[in-house]
Amino acid sequence: MKAAAFHYMQPKTVDEALGCLEQLGSDATILAGGQSLMASLNMRLSNPAVLIDINAIDELNGISTVEGRLRIGAMTRQAELEYSPLVSQHAPLITMVMPHIAHPAIRNRGTIGGSIAFADPAAELPACLVALNGQVVAQGPNGERRIAATEFFQDLFETALTDNELLTAIEIPMANENQRFGFRELARRHGDYAMVGLCASSDWSSDNLTELRLAYFNVGPRPVLAEQTASDICRIWPQVRNEMPLDQLESELDPPDDLNASSTMRVHLAKVLTRRIIEEWLS
């Protein structure tokens, strides 16, 4: 199918884009990489009056380091993250996650900002940002603000962004040598949305495991940080191999049933993934 008719705008700067948003409000939809939006337009499931294409805004591209943080411009393509030496050095979890996001052709067009702003509960990058304790940088008519990933994802496809704001970058604290990262997901076929996935980060120095962040995806309307389970694991570290304390996951996760897996099966799989990541760290 083809999309229904819409108006099209192509601002060249962030200020121009903000002007468009201010003028149009909720009638407009931002077009980033288009890997989710174009499909829903062509299926006629969404019919925005105006598309604001931000692909021509050069200032939204690029990866850099700023004061202990890795800054990734919103329009940086996923494929670029996948092969970036800066990313693998300062945010190795993103490098681990990348090959699992859909397929190469999609990653060539898909952007990090698009994936974060869209906030699909089954997507890898939102959970990755939560696990890394990252921040979203948004620009609006009153200037720039930073939103912690844990606050940013609010509900099913709902974020803290307002109608007149543009997501301009993602910032992640740079990794240090004590940190451990892990990523696992289970999908029926490679490239499908996972039935359950887990992005994990922690600090492991002098026999103590601290700052463990377990961010699960596709187990609820948004990425879920299992804080109780994380603190249970840290408390008995490193004696976790035989008896991993994962029972709290049953109350911390409340995944929906769907065609691929029941809720109970998803919780079970979440435990399996957690165990695999922890065992990988211990080995």
Which residues ranging from 12 to 31 are in contact with another protein (CB under 8 A)? none
Cα gap 47→4, rounded to integer Å: 7
The nearest distance, CB 45 to another protein, in angstroms, is 5
How many residues make contact with another protein (CB under 8 A)?
24
Q: Which is nearer to another protein, 87 or 119 (CB)?
A: 119
By CB under 8 A, tell whether 45 contacts another protein. Answer: yes
Kindly state whether residue 5 participates in binding another protein, applying the rule CB under 8 A.
no
What is the distance between the alpha carbons of residues 216 and 123, in angstroms, rounded to a whole number? 10
- Please say which residue, 153 or 237, places its beta carbon nearer to another protein: 153
Of residues 38 and 96, the one with the C-beta less far from another protein: 38
Half-sphere exposure of 209 toward its Cβ, with a 13 Å CA cutoff? 22
The CA distance from 94 to 82, in Å, is: 7
Segment 84 to 123, residues that bind another protein, using CB under 8 A: 118-122
Task: Give yes or no for residue 34 binding another protein (CB under 8 A).
Answer: no
Concatenating the DSSP letter of every residue in 98-140 gives: GGGSS-HHHHHH-BHHHHHHHT-TT-HHHHHHHHTT-EEEEEE
User: Is 11 an interacting residue with respect to another protein (CB under 8 A)?
Assistant: no
Does 155 bind another protein (CB under 8 A)? Our answer is yes
Contacts (CB under 8 A) with another protein, residues 243-272: 256-260
* DSSP state at residue 55: T
Calculate the dihedral angle through the C-alpha atoms of 70, 76, 77, 79, rounding to the nearest 10 degrees: -30
Q: Kindly state the smallest distance separating residue 43's Cβ from another protein, in Å.
A: 6
Q: What's the rounded Cα separation, in Å, for the pair 160 and 218?
A: 19
User: Contact, 124 vs 107, CB < 8 A?
Assistant: no
Shorter beta-carbon distance to another protein: residue 118 or 237: 118
Q: Which residues pair with 215 in a beta bridge?
A: 199, 225
Nearer to another protein, 83 or 157 (CB): 157
Distances (CA, A) of 235 to 93, 231, 262, 265: 24, 6, 31, 27
Nearer to another protein, 37 or 198 (CB): 37
40 forms part of the interface with another protein (CB under 8 A): yes
Binding mask 199-238 for another protein (x = CB under 8 A): ---------------------xx-----------------
Residues 159-178 that bind another protein (CB under 8 A): none
| Contact (CB, 8 A) for 68 and 62 | no
Shortest Cβ distance from residue 179 to another protein (Å)? 32
Tell me the C-alpha to C-alpha distance, in Å, between residue 156 and each of 135, 216, 229: 19, 14, 23
Which range touches another protein (CB under 8 A), out of 44-52, 163-171, 223-231, 268-276?
44-52
Residue in this structure with the two tokens 């991993």, named with its chain if needed: 244
Contacting residue, 17, 21, 31, 36, with another protein by CB under 8 A: 36
Which residues in this chain contact another protein in the complex, by CB under 8 A? Answer: 36-37, 40, 43-47, 118-122, 155-157, 193, 220-221, 256-260
